[in-house]
Chain A
Amino acid sequence: MLEASKSGHPGGSLSSSDIMAELWFGGEMSYDPSDPTSEGRDRFVLSKGHVVPVLYAVFKKLGWLEDEDIMSLRQLGSRCQGHPDNKVCPGVEVCAGSLGQGLSVAAGLALGLKLDAASSRVYVLCGDGEMQEGSNWEALMFAAHRKLDNLTMILDLNNLQIDGHVTDVCSLGDIEAKLAAFGWNVQVIDGHDVRAVRLALGKAKGVHGQPQAIVCTTVKGKGVSFMEDKASWHGTAPSHDQAVEALAELDAERARLEKEADNG
């Protein structure tokens, strides 16, 4: 996808891919695979909009997008815009890409659903670099104050942003303590351990009176050795040779996991 478009954000897409696979296909999030706008669906808001290729991959698997859609990523007329666009892409609830907005939108959605006495939940995927945006902390206060227990924030803590490691550019400090101090229920897990992701999503559902944060420690560029933990792969598309190498690595890992599953 990214190789064809010659632009895009591979690093964050890969750090979030295990989380997204588990969220969308692990059974905890409720939606109708045959209808992206089904009444009563849980809502998903992608706040770190630049990792939208991983969402497009999900939508392709669901049949909401076709091959030609995802292979025209970032090209004129494509449903797969450089950042998510609700006007052209089925399944996208709201435009995103300007960081620090998804959490407030998700809180508004969660409040509206609560006022409607709907049982739907709201999931929002945020990035750690994005948490430097002050607007997120307005939203954190608001969601806790309103006791939005139908709201789950998944925080992809890959410790990389464009200018380097988050801990070097402007550290979030003790994010677990900060989120807890803001009144959120917090779980910290390995974001590449899909069983841990599933367990955390399940636990979050059982929390009452508080919004929940699932802080996922991840590796930017996960699964592609030459991309892992490299800020330079934030917004650079791979060349053809690099894409072939990356896909070969990911395929080998998939084969290993499938074999493991067969044996286990």
Chain B
Amino acid sequence: MAKRATREAYGETLVELVNEGMNIVAVDADLAGFTKTGVLGKAYPDRLVDVGIAEQDMMDVAAGLSLTGRIAFTGSFAVFGTGRCYDQIRNTVCDSNLNVKVCPTHAGITVGEDGATHQSLEDVGMMRMLPNMRVLVPADYRGAKAAIRIAAETPGPFYVRMGRHPVPEVYNTDSDFALGKAKVLREGTDVSLLACGVEVAQALAAADQLAQKGISAEVVDVFSVKPLDEDAILATATKTGRVVTCEEHMVWGGMGSAVAELLASKLPTPMRFVGMRSFGTSAPGDVLLHHFGLDAEGIAAQVEDFLA
């Protein structure tokens, strides 16, 4: 199976959107080559603004550009592109409800070798808490293309979380992704694995492993973390009665918390949370997924323990 990082979708989708006539601009902070906004800059030099190593300026320059009628996308790594400019995102972009798309790359533990300072594990929680902000966490290249397109076509602030780690293709064709819609990728009856981002492929592999042990796992891609697909999540929880959330993010405040908030109020359901509970460390991404129990094996072990 071909593997590609979700970030690979970023620049080329922006180029497509410009080709289609959308008034797009990207603002990056000295990472255009890594985030792939550089692809847009190469095709359309006037559409990429590199502010240098200045994430606060990046976010508010994007805010200003949006006030001239542009759809402004931002870059940088997720840890800096959200945390270093959180006040700008909160007080200027979200409170003013501007057409700014916060789309950093290099999210999560799979950043790998760069280590803890560069592994963004709190970003989904921080973005999810902000009024007016929508949050998409695509599972693969095609999911990321769809997420960028949805963000461009829907007015107002968005957060799209992308990674540098090559992930297996989950979607074989251009599927019908939509804001607020989850996707059931595998039917099952014993437990629901709700995953997002790189964890979707891991959850599917875990379901294969569990099947060999006689456990039937349903796998749902929670592509849209905010708004959540409440109907789909309530349906799968009703069906299996056991929910395990999987994300390369702190277990506090992320997608798992969003699911728990929903189920606690509408359908109390026993849950387990696969995710991070500490800062990360340096190692290749695959090694870290295994080390922190986020790979298929780790997820399967959690499920077996849960159902025992």
Contact = CB atoms under 8 A, between A and B. Distances in A.
B56 A98 contact: no
Interface stretch (A99-107, A216-224, A225-233): A99-107
Nearest to B90: A98
B203 interface: no
B91 to A, nearest CB: 4
A106 B60 CA distance: 8
Nearest to B92: A101
Which of B56, B65, B68, B95 is most buried by chain A, counting CB atoms within 10 A of its CB?
A: B68
Contact of A108 (B46, B63, B96): B63
Contacts of A135: 54, 56-57, 60, 88
Interface string A138-149: 110110000000
A114 to B, nearest CB: 9
Interface in A128-161: 134-135, 138-139, 141-142
B28 to A, nearest CB: 13
Given A106-B64, A108-B65, A138 B95 contact: no
B257 interface: no
Given A95-B91, A105-B63, A111-B61, A141 B70 contact: no
Contacts of A109: 64-65, 67-68
Given A95-B96, A112-B67, A115-B46, A107 B91 contact: no
A94 interface: yes
B67 A108 contact: yes
- Looking at chain B, what size class is its interface with the partner chain? 20 to 34
B49 interface: yes
Interface stretch (A85-93, A196-204, A252-260): A85-93
B91 A105 contact: no
Interface string B73-93: 000000000000001101110
Contacts of A141: 52, 54
Contacts of B66: 108
Given A98-B87, A111-B64, A142-B61, A105 B92 contact: yes
A86 B96 contact: yes
A165 to B, nearest CB: 26
Contacts of B62: 108
Nearest to B70: A112
Which of A101, A115, A116 is most buried by chain B, counting CB atoms within 10 A of its CB?
A: A101
Contact of B60 (A86, A87, A108, A134): A108
B3 to A, nearest CB: 37
Interface residues of A, number: 30
Contacts of A142: 51-52, 54, 57, 61
Nearest to A112: B68
Given A101-B92, A111-B49, A141-B52, A94 B67 contact: yes
A110 B57 contact: no
Contacts of A194: none
Which of A87, A94, A98 is most buried by chain B, counting CB atoms within 10 A of its CB?
A: A94
B39 interface: no
Given A95-B96, A101-B91, A135-B57, A108 B64 contact: yes
B98 interface: yes
A214 to B, nearest CB: 20
Contacts of B189: none
Contacts of A164: none
A191 to B, nearest CB: 25
A95 to B, nearest CB: 4
Nearest to B49: A111
A110 B64 contact: yes
B64 A105 contact: yes
A9 interface: no
Given A95-B95, A97-B91, A142-B52, A104 B57 contact: yes
A62 B62 CA distance: 30
A43 interface: yes
Contacts of B97: 87
Nearest to B100: A108
A138 B54 contact: yes
Which of A85, A106, A112, A142 is most buried by chain B, counting CB atoms within 10 A of its CB?
A: A112
23 contacts: A87-B96, A94-B64, A95-B95, A95-B96, A98-B87, A104-B57, A104-B63, A104-B64, A107-B57, A107-B64, A108-B61, A109-B65, A109-B67, A109-B68, A111-B64, A112-B64, A112-B68, A135-B57, A135-B60, A138-B52, A139-B57, A139-B60, A142-B61
Q: Which 10 A-B pairs have the closest CB atoms?
A: A108-B64, A112-B68, A104-B60, A138-B57, A138-B54, A108-B61, A109-B64, A135-B56, A98-B91, A95-B96
